[in-house]
Structure 1
Amino acid sequence: MLATEPGNPDKPNEDWALVSPGLAVVLDGATARTDTGCVHGVAWFAHQLGAAIVANAAVRAANLAGCLASAIDRVASLHPQCDLNHPGTPSAAVGIIRIHGNELEYLVLSDISICLATREGGRQVITDSRVSATARRVRTELANLAIGSDEQAEALLRMKRAELAARNRPGGYWVAANDPTAAEHAITGAVPLRTIEDLVVLTDGAARIVDPFGLMNWNEFVESLRDQGPTELLRRVREAEAKDPDGQRWPRNKRSDDATILHLSDIPRG
């Protein structure tokens, strides 16, 4: 089951997701707070990148990092008129899961989360938190600023500039943008299919119900998905956001963010 919705109904959803037999891809386009050098925008980039990843990952012999690298290169070829070397060129976090024989392969790059629920009741959460390790001083400052205030807007811009300075370079963080070699830094792995009961791929706008809201843990999150489905969980995220519009209880960069949850159960055993 899949549910996705924009953080602001008046703006395009910069998340992108697709599920097909044996394959699922979820992307979270990074918010552009500066010029990008691209006339197309983040939503366009995420849609094009997602489609390219799906086409590449359908070839089972190709490893997932290679699929992502080729997709980044492909999308770059679609808009040569844009300044792809601009420091703010559009980018996206990526989550991929694929069934390959008797294994479930996964890839995470930047702040997508994958939660694997085992048949024995265990939970493994795979996420890439390197971006949140950048601009620490500004992030601390932001925690004390009201959402929507002039002070927050100025701090967000400083944070974005610091993030861009650390993007796709050693000691910083890695995200799908214009450089295919970023895929080499993705978190990848594989687990036996027979051990997996449920799997969830979600963007950080949906994961906030666990962190920073703390309204449930990952065990409760998976149980709620089983009982109520992803649409209800997104409703609960929006309900919590509406109760804390200024971010005083749960400091965050945006009142509401684009949010996507993909939940798969009854997984074929290969």
Structure 2
Amino acid sequence: MTSRETLGRSANLKVIERLGDPDTDANADWVEGRADCVLWMDGAVPVNSGTTRSDYSSDAAWLVRRFARNFFEHLTPECDTQTLVAEVQGVLAEEFAGLGQTRANAVVGPPFACFGAARLIGETLELTNAGDCVLLYEDAAGRVVSFGYSAVSALERRATDFLIDFKVRTGASHTDALQATVPAILDNVAQRNRLFGYDVVEPIAGLTTQLERVLMPARSGQRLLAMSDGFFRAVDTYRLLSSEELFETAFRDGLGAILAALRSAEEQDPEARAWPRLKLRDDASAIAFVVET
């Protein structure tokens, strides 16, 4: 861990708990933290590609791990976050091209990922976001607020509405209805890095991912909770908790308690009828951390 003196700051980010489910290389989410920065990502791959170019079960799992490693290796107090993100994308573009094609020589498009980070720069806390990961944090008044605007939820809602209507009209299973929804999902994916609120990172050289950014004084004891949209399903899909309740439960009872409730809800609704959703089960990851001075 880099020392406070080396970083020229009097504050640290202390990770309280991190969780990833599944806890294997199949998870296309990634959360990681060190004293000066906490990062969170949620990867995705071309719909129904069924093939990979990396040694991982999905190229999205490859992307988030390689991105995080390169990001932290090159992160310095002086660097600009958005510039670093662009540089890492260029490095990974070369790596991805070097992976070649699949054994079947199928054309597989590049994976992409939502991105978020909290950095301590001197006495300032910088928050950045691209895509639909969720960050909850305490503001100066002690209220739990969220950071980041996402257009992805509205796009996914339209695709989910189509899926629901298809089920009602045809009586199809979730698997068949999801297959019928693929064109709508592909239309959504085509909006990435074009639609405001749907910026993502990709292994593409020269791509400028527009990051939302906010700066605030680093306050001792400030708590933050970052997560993938799969973990936030406890709030926006299964309605098990409000955002505020999720935040307090995470720090009081731990992330595992939330994950257990989330997975239980999924198991109770194997055809996504009580809680409509595209993926019956999604990767779920989160990281809880606090500012220490």
Give me the TM-score of the superposition, normalised by structure 1: 0.86
Determine if the alignment matches structure 1 residue 22 to structure 2 residue 41: no
Q: Which range is displaced more, 212-221 or 132-141?
A: 132-141
Corresponding residue of 1:44: 62
CA contact (8 A) 1:110 1:174 kept: yes
Give matches, 1:170-249, under 5 Å. 170=195, 173-179=198-204, 183-194=208-219, 197-249=222-274
Corresponding residue of 1:154: 180
CA contact (8 A) 1:36 1:87 kept: no
Cα offset, 1:38, TM superposition: 5.7
Corresponding residue of 2:74: 56
Q: How much identity, in percent, do the aligned residues show?
A: 24
CA contact (8 A) 1:134 1:172 kept: no
Give me the TM-score of the superposition, normalised by structure 2: 0.80
Q: Which range is displaced more, 118-127 or 101-110?
A: 118-127
CA contact (8 A) 1:64 1:106 kept: no
What is the CA–CA distance in structure 2 between the aligned matches of 1:194 and 1:166, rounded to whole Å?
Answer: 37
Determine if the alignment matches structure 1 residue 66 to structure 2 residue 83: yes
Structure 1 gap ranges (5+): none
What is the CA–CA distance in structure 1 between the aligned matches of 2:251 and 2:197, rounded to whole Å?
Answer: 37
Structure 2 gap ranges (5+): 1-16, 102-106
CA contact (8 A) 2:130 2:209 kept: no
What is the CA–CA distance in structure 1 between the aligned matches of 2:233 and 2:35, rounded to whole Å?
Answer: 28
What is the CA–CA distance in structure 1 between the aligned matches of 2:187 and 2:85, rounded to whole Å?
Answer: 25
What is the CA–CA distance in structure 2 between the aligned matches of 1:36 and 1:28, rounded to whole Å?
Answer: 19
- Structure-2 change in CA distance of 1:10 and 1:104 (3 Å): closer
Corresponding residue of 1:261: 286
Partner letter of residue 139 of structure 1?
T
Partner letter of residue 154 of structure 1?
A
CA contact (8 A) 1:87 1:164 kept: no
Q: Work out the number of aligned pairs and report it.
A: 262
What is the CA–CA distance in structure 1 between the aligned matches of 2:63 and 2:252, rounded to whole Å?
Answer: 34
Cα offset, 1:35, TM superposition: 3.5
Cα offset, 1:31, TM superposition: 4.0
Structure whose alpha-carbon radius of gyration is higher: 2
- Structure-2 change in CA distance of 1:149 and 1:34 (3 Å): closer
CA contact (8 A) 1:32 1:90 kept: yes
Q: SS at the partner of 1:166?
A: coil
Give CA deviations for 1:135-174 in whole Å, capped at 9, x if unaligned.
Answer: 764332124447733122221x213320232222256832
Q: SS at the partner of 1:199?
A: strand
What is the CA–CA distance in structure 2 between the aligned matches of 1:131 and 1:182, rounded to whole Å?
Answer: 20
Determine if the alignment matches structure 1 residue 115 to structure 2 residue 132: no
Q: Which range is displaced more, 157-166 or 12-21?
A: 157-166
CA contact (8 A) 1:117 1:196 kept: no
Q: SS at the partner of 1:128?
A: coil
What is the CA–CA distance in structure 1 between the aligned matches of 2:269 and 2:146, rounded to whole Å?
Answer: 27
Q: Which range is displaced more, 39-48 or 255-264?
A: 39-48
Give matches, 1:92-103, under 5 Å. 92-103=113-124
CA contact (8 A) 1:98 1:105 kept: yes
CA contact (8 A) 1:134 1:166 kept: no
| RMSD value, Cα | 2.6
CA contact (8 A) 2:112 2:201 kept: yes
Partner letter of residue 18 of structure 1?
E
Counterpart pick for 2:96 among 55, 67, 79:
79
- Structure-2 change in CA distance of 1:235 and 1:31 (3 Å): farther
What is the CA–CA distance in structure 2 between the aligned matches of 1:119 and 1:183, rounded to whole Å?
Answer: 32
Cα offset, 1:241, TM superposition: 1.3
Cα offset, 1:113, TM superposition: 0.8
- Structure-2 change in CA distance of 1:43 and 1:164 (3 Å): same
Cα offset, 1:181, TM superposition: 5.7
Q: Which range is displaced more, 224-233 or 186-195?
A: 186-195
